[in-house]
Structure 1
Amino acid sequence: MTEADPIRPEGAAADWTIPQGWNSYTPEEHATWDMLFERQVAMLPGRVTPEFMAGLDVLRLSRPGIPEFEELSDRLTKATGWQVVAVPGLVPNDVFFDHLANRRFVSGNFIRKPHELDYLQEPDVFHDVFGHVPLLANPVFADYMQAYGKGGQRAAAMGAIDRLSRLYWYTVEFGLVRSDEELKLYGAGIVSSYAESVFALDDPSPNRIGFDLKRLMRTKYRIDDFQQNYFVIDSFEDLLDQTLNTDFSPLYAELESEPDIEIETVLPTDMVYTRGTQAYARSRIAA
Structure 2
Amino acid sequence: MGQAPVVYGQSERPPRGDYSRAASDYTCAQDYASYTETDHDTYRRLHARQSALLPGRACAEFIAALPSLGPHKRIPRFEDINARLMPATGWQIVGVPGLIPELAFFELLAERRFPVTDWIRTPAEFDYIVEPDIFHDLFGHVPLLFNPVLADYVQRYGQGGIKAHRLGACEMLARLYWYTIEFGLIREAGGLRAYGAGILSSGGELVHAVESPEPRRLPLSVERAMRSRYRIDSYQQTYFVIDSLQQLFDMTDGDFAPLYAQLRALPEFAADGSEAPPVRPAPPGPRTPA
Does 1:38 pair with 2:48? Answer: yes
Work out the number of aligned pairs and report it: 264
Does 1:252 pair with 2:255? Answer: no
User: What is the DSSP-based 3-state SS (H/G/I as helix, E as strand, rest coil) of the residue aligned with 2:21?
Assistant: coil
- What's the Cα RMSD here? 1.9
Q: Is the contact made by 2:47 and 2:72 (CA closer than 8 Å) also made in structure 1?
A: no
Counterparts of 1:171 and 1:3, CA distance in 2: 23
Q: Which runs of 4+ in 1 moved over 4 A?
A: 2-8
TM-score by length of 1: 0.88
Partner of 2:281: none
Aligned pair in 2 of structure 1 residues 44, 73: CA closer, same or farther (>3 Å)?
A: same
Partner of 2:224: 215
User: What is the DSSP-based 3-state SS (H/G/I as helix, E as strand, rest coil) of the residue aligned with 1:166?
Assistant: helix
Q: Is the contact made by 1:56 and 1:62 (CA closer than 8 Å) also made in structure 2?
A: no
Partner of 2:86: 77
Structure 2 residues not aligned, in runs of 5+: 1-5, 276-290
Give the alignment partner of residue 125 of structure 1, picking from 128, 131, 134. 134
* AA partner of residue 98 (structure 2): G
Counterparts of 2:218 and 2:71, CA distance in 1: 33
Q: Is the contact made by 1:196 and 1:226 (CA closer than 8 Å) also made in structure 2?
A: yes
Partner of 1:96: 105
* AA partner of residue 259 (structure 2): L
User: What is the DSSP-based 3-state SS (H/G/I as helix, E as strand, rest coil) of the residue aligned with 1:10?
Assistant: helix
Structure 1 residues not aligned, in runs of 5+: 268-287
Residue by residue over 1:151-170, the C-alpha shift from the partner in whole angstroms, topping out at 9 and shown as x without a partner, is: 00000010000000000000
Partner of 1:64: 73
Does 1:261 pair with 2:269? Answer: yes
- Name which of structure 1's ranges 156-165 and 180-189 shifts more when overlaid on structure 2: 180-189
Does 1:19 pair with 2:9? Answer: no
Residue by residue over 1:63-105, the C-alpha shift from the partner in whole angstroms, topping out at 9 and shown as x without a partner, is: 4211100111111101101111111111111110000000000
Partner of 1:238: 247
Q: Is the contact made by 2:220 and 2:240 (CA closer than 8 Å) also made in structure 1?
A: yes
Q: Is the contact made by 2:96 and 2:118 (CA closer than 8 Å) also made in structure 1?
A: yes
Give the alignment partner of residue 62 of structure 2, picking from 52, 59, 74. 52
Aligned pair in 2 of structure 1 residues 259, 173: CA closer, same or farther (>3 Å)?
A: same
Q: Is the contact made by 1:210 and 1:232 (CA closer than 8 Å) also made in structure 2?
A: yes
